[in-house]
Structure 1
Amino acid sequence: MGGALTRYRAIAWIVGVVLILLVVVGMPLKYLFDNPVVVETVGPAHGFLYMVYLVAAFDLARRADWGLKRMLAVMLAGTVPFVSFYAERRVTGWVNRPAERTPEPVAG
């Protein structure tokens, strides 16, 4: 599961940075200064990278045996600026120290 987590973490950061670039730089340039060049170039890139993010999140969710709610929440984290960074930290914690799993009882 380590490889799936590493892939997820990398794409979460990339998607987060590209989304912030799109929202913080591209949108003001387009709507305030009538210069859509950043939105026209970064927008499609973000769309493609978000699809890669969804695949990585699905793969990790499948390997970690998450429920549907958790998987969808992680997938939606790539749509809100800055949230993908928070989700990446939470996901790393869930995978590295799974609190939901209870230890098997020891026969004694």
Structure 2
Amino acid sequence: MLKTFKFIALLEGISLLVLLFIAMPLKYWLDKPEMVSKVGMAHGVLFILYIVMATVLKNDEKWSWKKYGLICIASVIPFGTFVMEKKLLESKA
């Protein structure tokens, strides 16, 4: 399950970067809002899946509240899920 979570974290991180650095500039600079709705929906679904899986893994893996909190916060910071995966989850495959 941890391996699946890492994959979801990767996808969630990529979707956030695409939303912030591709879709949003297209919306505001080129007046093309359709990308934001598509990428935004995908990112929203991945974000919810990420948080639900983190919550399940907190119990399964016996994570501390601090680790769990850092993992959740990482999901709203650009590049956060990539750093989280390396720093907080590197000890487990």
- Verify same fold: TM over 0.5: yes
Aligned counterpart, 1:87: 84
Moved over 6 A (4+): none
Aligned counterpart, 1:29: 26
Aligned counterpart, 1:14: 11
How is 1:64-75 mapped onto 2 (pairs within 5 angstroms)?
Answer: 64-75=61-72
Letter in structure 1 aligned against 2:77: V
Aligned counterpart, 2:59: 62
Letter in structure 1 aligned against 2:45: F
Unaligned runs of 5+ in 2: none
2:66 aligned with 1:42 = no
CA distance in 1, matches of 2:34, 2:88: 34
CA distance in 2, matches of 1:38, 1:49: 16
Letter in structure 2 aligned against 1:27: M
1:17-39 residue CA offsets vs partner (Å, 9 max, x unmatched): 11111111011111111111110
Aligned-residue sequence identity (percent) comes to 33
Aligned residue pair count: 93
RMSD of aligned C-alpha atoms? 1.4
Alpha-carbon shift at residue 13 of structure 1 (Å): 0.3
Letter in structure 1 aligned against 2:88: V
Aligned counterpart, 2:50: 53
CA distance in 2, matches of 1:94, 1:70: 13
TM-score normalised by L of structure 2: 0.89
Q: Secondary structure at the match of 1:92?
A: coil
